A and B are shown apart, each in its own frame.
Chain A
Amino acid sequence: MVNEASRGSAPVVGSSIPSAGRHWGRTFWQRAAPVVYGLIAGGVLLLVMGKNPIAFYWTTLESGLLTWSGLMQTIIRLAPLLLMSAGFIVAFQAGLWNIGGDGQFLLAAAVVAGLGAPALGVMPFWLVLPLLCVVGFLVGGAWTVVPSLMKAYYGMNEIITTLMMAFIGINLANILIKGPFLSHVTLVPQTDVIPWVYLLPFIPGTHIHVGIVIALVALVLVHFMQTRTSYGLRLRILGASPRAALHAGISVKRDIVTAFALSGGLIGLAAAVEVLGVWGYVRADWNPAFGMTLFAIVFLAGLDVLVVIPFVFFFAVIQIGGHEAARQAGLPNDFLLLLIGLILFFMVLTEWARTRGWLARLRGRHAGSMAAAAEEAAGDG
């Protein structure tokens, strides 16, 4: 099974006793370098296309970070991204490659949006919001049950099943939106709109909804779970070696199911927060497709919350500021995809170079040395 197989490359966080403190500053800078290289590569590309990279990046920064409204938008975007990342962290921790995040996200979004307006009719909104968040969590979690059961009981590889469930989920979301949840006010297929004033409240003095707070709290909890609880250790053993987990008396089946559900739940919560914080509705065929990129980012951040946050923040800035930059440079927005792709490549590359360099200092280049190269890489993702 892939999760077992890729143990070699699956990052193992804090494989030592938790209390051993981590100077994350160092780790962070080690990991920030590739981003810079990626940007440089993107810059070269821009030059080739006769655009001005400095201007491009400056505009990105300006409209994604340096202006108040841009910063607000970035932070608002951060909420769902961080929650989704938290979901991936939990799954990867347990060696579960939940690659169907987008399906869980969209289905949860559709259900939350679909129930939103009706719910407001029957109960006070201060009750509706938390309730819908729970709904999102449950739907997202529920969408992992089939894959997790099949993995737990038949050893069915979860990459296939989550992929398939993602396809089903995305279509199902559309069916719901065009069926039971179809709004009769607008003619575009979409859900009824939750009145703007009833969406998640703003953090006082800003237009940033409280989703970001929820996200940060969730991340802290996940981090605590990872490093300070028996459950976290069980998941880590499961992720490192399912057979060892079984041998140690860990009820592997239960933990696979719970970890998977928790992962999907957080992703569903991400959807709820995005819908209840920004949109108030979901239209058919809407798919922000955060999943894939976050999957990679979380992995490259070594499942380390303290590294995930800055990475995701950076990603959000590019997402938010990039449009304006692309517009001013007269480029299609899809250039941003290319940019992100390049950055990922460079993250991978420098991670490799680092491990090699680390080794080179110890003992030149030769067959055997590759061994610990991979070991080291495995060590810190």
Chain B
Amino acid sequence: TARSPEAGSPSPGSSAGAGGVKVSKIAVITPEKANDFGWNQQGVEGAAAAAASVGAACIVQDGAGYGDITPILNQLAGDNPQLMLAWASGYNTVAPQVAQQTGIATVVIGAGSDAANTPGLVNDLETDAQGGAYLAGILAARTTMTGTVAIVVSAEDENWTKMSGGFIGGARSVTPGIRILYVQIGQAGYADAAGGKRVTASAIAGGADVIFGMGDGSSFGMMQAVETEPPPAGADKVWFIDVIGDKSSLDKKGIYLSSVVWDFTAIDEKAISEVEAGTFGRATYRLDLDNGIKLLRSRFIPAEVWDEIETARQGILDGSIEVPLTTTGKEVKAYLGSGK
């Protein structure tokens, strides 16, 4: 008495399959509110931009959390968009099922294998931001005066671990012996601003004068620490390097050195065009240096450093520079320990 396969098959008259359809409406659903200057906001803005570019409407369901995702996806599907962006790795088990049942093309995040791709229905999106983090590492190594930089992560999160590896690689490419501190707030410290500040403060006290901070709500706590904690001996100020979003508009104290910004517009446009071409669901999308990952150039970055970063970027793109890939906290710590 297994679930009858037909229960899972596309509902009749679904737009799935070869044909392809005109995209007039897309829907994006994010776990947190889309005002976080981070993952959710970038996701929504990218979707909106892409939709605008083809004159399609864009339904936004942000702050959807994880618990009630099935009903929410179904309700969104009820609005008959031709493309749904299920904007959290936490959705990548439920979303395909909904896609199956409703026949709506759906982009899922970090399903981890091409197997997830289903022609016309499901397309996986992987984020490879380590390249950008590599550049951030170079920037950090060039900026630090104490010779110590710190990576602060809010939780054990794949994106964070990948970028941590990249950052370490970049920093060491400049100063091989550079001291890099790595610390995690908690198992789910995404919103733990207090923890963010406390941990960052300790890192600064540990000698770090550049903080590469990865976290959602908690990263505001990190910035607060960077702004308020006394700089370590040998440094006159502490810098903050952010990820995903661009918070420079919130930077009152001039500590916001840069950010590894994720811009999804290009990818979303690609998805739309593939849906219309009927080629959706064939190959995993990868967000990386050449289609949306970039290092934010703030006024604090000296020109020569930026040139160096630019050359490194070229190097990564043409493959002459190899960016390390660490997908778990363990791997990061191992790589950190290796000292190479």
Contact = CB atoms under 8 A, between A and B. Distances in A.
A279 B3 contact: no
Interface in A175-197: 178, 185-189, 193, 196-197
B146 interface: no
Contacts of B63: 332-334
Interface in A1-22: none
A186 B112 contact: yes
B188 A201 contact: no
A186 B92 contact: yes
Given A279-B94, A286-B90, 16 more contacts: A69-B74, A73-B74, A76-B70, A77-B68, A171-B187, A178-B156, A187-B112, A188-B90, A196-B3, A197-B5, A197-B8, A198-B3, A201-B1, A207-B101, A288-B67, A320-B68
Contacts, number: 103
Contact of A199 (B3, B92, B101, B155): B3
Contacts of B155: 285
Interface band, chain A = 35 or more
B188 A187 contact: no
Contacts of A126: 1
A207 B89 contact: no
5 contacts: A70-B75, A198-B2, A279-B94, A283-B90, A333-B64
Given A70-B71, A185-B112, A280 B158 contact: no
Contacts of A207: 7, 101
B53 interface: no
A67 B66 CA distance: 22
A340 to B, nearest CB: 14
Nearest to A194: B93
A224 interface: no
A198 B97 CA distance: 13
A288 B65 CA distance: 9
A186 B110 contact: yes
A320 B66 CA distance: 13
B286 to A, nearest CB: 14
Contacts of A178: 156, 187
Contacts of A333: 63-65
Interface string B1-43: 1111101100000000000000000000000010000000000
Given A285-B188, A332-B63, A201 B68 contact: no
A85 interface: no
Contacts of B187: 171, 174, 178, 284-285
B78 interface: yes
A288 B158 CA distance: 22
Interface of B: 1-5, 7-8, 33, 60-61, 63-68, 70-72, 74-75, 78, 89-90, 92-94, 97, 101, 110-113, 155-158, 187-188, 327-328
Nearest to A67: B78
A188 B110 contact: yes
B1 to A, nearest CB: 4
A319 B5 CA distance: 29
A70 B71 CA distance: 7
A63 interface: yes
A188 B67 contact: no
A178 B155 CA distance: 12
Contact of A69 (B8, B67, B78, B94): B78
Contacts of B70: 73, 76, 278
Nearest to A201: B1
B72 A283 contact: no
Contacts of B72: 323-324
A100 to B, nearest CB: 19
A67 to B, nearest CB: 7
A202 interface: yes
A320 B78 CA distance: 14
A285 B154 CA distance: 13
A184 to B, nearest CB: 9
Given A187-B327, A285-B187, A202 B111 contact: no
A288 B66 CA distance: 8
B93 A281 contact: yes
B158 A187 contact: yes
A193 B75 contact: no
A37 B33 CA distance: 30
B71 A323 contact: yes
Nearest to A274: B67
A314 to B, nearest CB: 16
Nearest to B97: A196
B7 A284 contact: no
B265 to A, nearest CB: 23
A345 interface: no
A364 B5 CA distance: 67
A125 interface: yes
Nearest to B29: A327
